[in-house]
Amino acid sequence: MAEEKLPTRAEDFAEWYNQLVVRSDMADYAPVRGCMVVKPYGWALWENITSWLDAEFKKTGHVNAAFPTLIPLSFFEKEKEHVEGFAPELAVVTHGGGEELEEKLAVRPTSETIIGHMYAKWIKSWRDLPVLIVQWGSVLRWELRTKLFLRTAEFYWHEGHTAHASAEEALEEMYRILDIYERFCYEEAAIPVIKGTKSETERFAGAHTTTSIEAMMWDKRALQSGTSHYFSTNFSKAFDIQFLNRGNTLQYAETTSWAISSRIIGAIIMVHGDDQGLVLPPRLAPIQAVIVPIFRNDAEKGKVMDVADRVFLELKEAGIRVKMDDRDNVSSGFKFNDWEMRGVPLRVEIGPKDVEKGSVALARRDKPGKEGKTFVSQADLASTVNGLLADVQSSLLKRATDYFNANVHEPKDYEDLKQIVADGWAFAYWCESAECEARVKQDTKATTRNIPLNQPEGEGTCIVCGRPARRKVYFAKAY
């Protein structure tokens, strides 16, 4: 029953990723072009992601609601920049009930328009503000080049949409959410990210300001892993979201929107995975520990399973997400490889000698082979396992952070920048002109990722043209 090994990341990173997503039981290809089926194991990971985010949003006063999947096409014509940004990606419904529709309907690519329409009905006074709503679901964008989780025609996300009485409140909201996204990546996903502002070229269609978190994948490409937008009054004016302020004067609401999508699963795979398969951070892993009982005959089986069942209950009662692999139709070696492929952080091996010694073998997924295996006492095992899981979590973050730091460089000049972005990130002063940005993209296929919020003191000169520059930006090739 042995399966072929994955391609190594160094041999063919793209094929390694494509095979791994399917073979680890995360997702599969749907019969609709560019769409995916998220399998139970992948969905369990997504649930752990969404439950953490949902709890954080609720702490800050946000509430959940649901809006229609189908949006009148005319809505997209009200905000000119927005419709131009999404026009190529719209899927349009022209028939319903066997008849041609009087008005065509777009399958939502994002919900600013339909939510703007509803907010115009609901918001009449300053007393109605702020409105802090989150929608969970899927959207559809007719992507030409698709890749499971990273870029699919239909994908899953939350989209927050808020309305405020002032620009200050709306901007505070944008940055508050960005901070939540940063904490999620560091604390839960064990992924270091850069918080920053997108360039005018890269900002969201219709937004006044777009902020993002950017992460480095193993192949050193960047992945935009979450965005938070401030719209000013752009959408309020398009959809007539007006309210009477405290001075009894009619004014437009200030709005925001923000999202992390299921592409964050792709980030987790590409940042932490190795040539054996997934490596999942314990705080998000659907299964944190798997117990593999090892025996050769029925006599050994009875003794081993007694201990394995007791260990299973102890770990489960301690709140550890644990699974017993008691399959009798595959070998122990097959099980080890199977759970390594799925990225389970910790494997608990129990054999006849362990029963005699009152011990178990613990194998860490982040350190394959002998380096990651230790023999520990069965006494107070839940505490030992919890401590090891915490260590795996911090180890993954340190490894990813060290990798990021090792592959970001400050170029001496433009020729140096071109060399750096061929296999890494460049961090350099930029005059913030579209012309210099376009030149880098044309010469290297690298783009500005974001202008980090934390900037060095002083000013410099643009790495492209040599003119004065106030801020530094990250350049990298991206997904």
* 105-129 core/surface letters (b: 16 or more CB in 10 A; e: else): bbbbbbbbbbbbbbbbeebeebeeb
Kindly state the average pLDDT of the residues 317-345: 96
Give yes or no for residue 298 having a pLDDT over 70: yes
Closest of 161, 180, 181, 168 to residue 60, by C-alpha? 180
For residue 22, count CB atoms less than 10 angstroms from its CB and return exposed for 0-12, middle for 13-18, buried for 19 or more. Answer: middle
* Section 338-355 average pLDDT: 97
Residue 3 pLDDT greater than 80, yes or no = no
Q: Is the pLDDT of residue 2 over 80?
A: no
**Distance from chain centroid for Cα 301:** 42
* Helices 167-183 and 40-59, packing angle to 10 deg: 140
Domain range 13-272, CATH class: alpha beta
- What is the Cα–Cα distance from 445 to 435, expressed in whole angstroms? 14
- Split at pLDDT 50, 70, 90, the class of 1 is very low
The CATH number of 408-476 is 3.30.110.30
Average pLDDT over the chain, rounded to an integer: 96
Residue 186: the pLDDT is 98
User: CA–CA separation, 475 vs 443, rounded Å?
Assistant: 12
Looking at domain 289-392, its CATH class is: alpha beta
Mean pLDDT of 448-467: 97
Whether 82 has a pLDDT exceeding 80, the answer reads no
Does residue 349 register a pLDDT over 50? yes
Angle at Cα 420 formed by Cα 414 and Cα 426, nearest 5°? Answer: 75
| pLDDT single digits (tens) 230-276 | 999 999 999 999 999 999 999 999 999 999 999 999 999 999 999 99
Spatial separation of the C-alpha atoms in residues 203 and 206, rounded to whole Å: 8
Q: In the prediction, which pLDDT does 84 show?
A: 76
Per-residue pLDDT reduced to its tens digit, 88-113: 889 999 999 999 999 999 999 999 99
CA 97 vs CA 71, 93, 94: distances in Å: 17, 11, 11
Q: What percent of the chain has pLDDT over 90?
A: 94
> Distance between CA 255 and CA 116 in Å, rounded?
9
Q: How far apart are CA 90 and CA 76, in angstroms?
A: 10
Q: Which of 162, 192, 169 shows the shortest CA–CA distance to 258?
A: 162
Residue 309 has pLDDT above 80, yes or no: yes
Segment 19-42, tens digit of pLDDT: 999 999 999 999 999 999 999 999
- Residue 132: band (very low, low, confident or very high) from pLDDT cuts 50, 70, 90: very high
Residue 149 · residue 37 · CB < 8 Å: no
Where do the domains of the chain lie? 13-272, 289-392, 408-476
Q: Is 238 exposed, middle or buried (0-12, 13-18, 19+ CB in 10 A)?
A: buried
Q: How far is CA 414 from CA 16, 164, 216, 411, in A?
A: 33, 43, 22, 7
